[in-house]
Amino acid sequence: MRWELGPDWTELTQECLLDIFSRLSLEERWTGPMFVCKTWMNGCQDPSLNLVFDLETKFQSLPGSLSCWWSPEFGDKIDSVLRSVVDWSQGGLKEVRVSHCTDSSISYVAERCPNLEVLSVKYCPKVTDDSMLKIALMCPNLKELDISFSYKISCVCVDMVGKSCKSIQTFKRNLMDPAEVTKYVPSNYMEDPSIFLIYGNIDAYVIGKHMHQLKHLELRFSTLSNNGLAQLCEGCSNLEYLDLCGCNKLTSDGVTNSISNLKHLKEIKKPSFPAFII
């Protein structure tokens, strides 16, 4: 019986490899072809394949929040992976969507990726103003920023992003539903007093003052009041999408009056206002 040898896949040209690898997800590249041979590993590290780093999709696909995600060791692993992608992109990284990273990797992104356009750092208790101020100052092309559930990022960062990133059109500053916090974060997370110090009206003021070009804004469970919302809507007249779910300091009349200035508004998600019984 004669055996026929198949093609030698290791001899594919770089152009063919990149075309094939570009059809794979980040996870598929990292768990498959990178371990075949050195040539394939080098192909996976090509800058053209490392313009987007998205772990958010993977986190969302898993049920609930795993306790190991909140450990320092897990944060170090995420930081290491993100720094590797930054290096492979040779400064061309344009989109980062990640959770549970730290100031270390976000500072690394800021210092080496001036063309960054999208940054999502949801559920990152170790990301603070220290790294986010660098993002604001060094990544002026930022178009989308999501700092939801990252409570160490203060209104100082929001202010600097508004002043420095004049192309930003999507901003998300969602907070956790107090009734569901224990489902998603470990109990010691609640011991950090900073999670209660998000001043909604200050955020609303700086957003309205500096982010006039915003089209998409999410402030779920914010503590902003009717006055804060009015200032925000006056400054952000180009808003097309506004999410105010869970903002229990707002009233129905206050929301109606404020959004009357938003002529381009296409969709709004309002808080659940209490029903009045006559």
Range 177-195 average pLDDT? 65
| Interatomic CA distance for residues 232 and 89, integer angstroms | 37
For helices 155-164 and 129-138, what crossing angle results, to 10°? 10
pLDDT tens for residues 44-93?
Answer: 667 777 788 988 877 766 655 566 677 778 888 999 999 999 999 898 99
What is the pLDDT at residue 50? 79
**Contact call for residues 217 and 224 (beta carbons, < 8 A):** no
Residue 130 has what pLDDT?
A: 96
CA gap 137, 115 in Å, rounded: 12
Question: What pLDDT is attached to residue 278?
Answer: 41
What are the tens digits of pLDDT across the range 189-222?
655 656 555 689 999 999 999 999 999 999 999 9
* Vertex 85 angle, CA 27 and 125, to 5°: 85
Burial of 9 from C-beta contacts in 10 A (0-12 / 13-18 / 19+): middle
How far is it, in rounded angstroms, from Cα 87 to Cα 15? 21
How far, in Å, are 39, 128, 195, 228 from residue 27 at the CA level? Answer: 18, 27, 32, 42
Q: How far is the C-alpha of 14 from the C-alpha of 12, rounded, in Å?
A: 7
Higher-scoring residue by pLDDT: 214, 179: 214
* Token reading at 252: 């129905």
Highest mean pLDDT range out of 1-5, 83-87, 187-191, 236-240?
236-240
Q: What is the DSSP string of 120-159?
A: EEET-TB--HHHHHHHHHH-TT--EEE-TT-TT--HHHHH
**Percentage of the chain with pLDDT > 90?**
54
CA 270 to chain centre: 22
Q: Across the chain, what does the average pLDDT equal?
A: 84
